[in-house]
Amino acid sequence: MAELSKDFILSRCVKEVLPRLYQWLRKAAADSHLKDAGSYYRSSAAYLLQIAALASLPSLAVHLRLQDAPLDDAMTAVDAYLSNKQPKTLQTLAVNFFKAILDYSYGAAWWHLRALCANDELLQAPARRLASARGTPYVANDKDIQHNIEAIFDITS
């Protein structure tokens, strides 16, 4: 529906549907935290709904042309799934989400991931006329997300 009737659906989704979805994703991330492969949680309806929501969120963001705060809200809802304490399937979907958002809005995703990583690394400017930046999206202070940050940017360690 989002692809066919963008303007009408956009305003309704951004104001009414997406905030509830994001709230549920944040709550569900806490529920799926530390659920290993043998956990009953992996066979629950909530887990299957997490998979469906995380799988569809990248195309939904693109088709609804999310920008600024609504796009940042979507990225914030997915942040918790970058933790290595989440089930591997959900981690992979979170990495795929951020890769899709990098393709859609590189600057917004880069800035969001830079804030998420919260480090003091010095990023050298590519040209001498530009100032270096403090903080990069490539090195996370939270080691639980470092492997998935590297996967988003295809960094091999």
> Domain coordinates of the chain in residue numbers?
6-152
What is the per-residue pLDDT across 120-153, written as a single tens digit (0 to 9) for each? Answer: 888 776 777 777 777 788 889 999 999 999 999 9
Asked if residue 149 lies in contact with residue 140, where contact means CB atoms within 8 angstroms, the answer is: yes
Structure tokens given for 47 = 């887990």
pLDDT value at residue 132: 74
Q: Which amino acid is it at 36? A: D
pLDDT value at residue 84: 96
pLDDT value at residue 80: 97
What is this structure's pTM? 0.88
**Three-state secondary structure string covering the chain:** CCCCCHHHHHHHHHHHHHHHHHHHHHHHHHHHCCCCCCCHHHHCHHHHHHHHHHHHHHHHHHHCCCCHHHHHHHHHHHHHHHCCCCCHHHHHHHHHHHHHHHHHCHHHHHHHHHHHHCCCCEECCCCCCCCCEECCCCCCCCHHHHHHHHHHCCCCC
Structure tokens given for 98 = 């951020």
What is the per-residue pLDDT across 51-64, written as a single tens digit (0 to 9) for each? Answer: 999 999 999 999 88
pLDDT value at residue 157: 61
CA distance 75 to 25: 11
pLDDT value at residue 3: 61
Mean pLDDT rounded to a whole number for the chain = 89
CB-based contacts of 78: which residues, under 8 Å, 6+ apart?
25, 54, 57, 94, 97, 98
Residues in a beta bridge with 132:
none
pLDDT at 23 over 90: yes
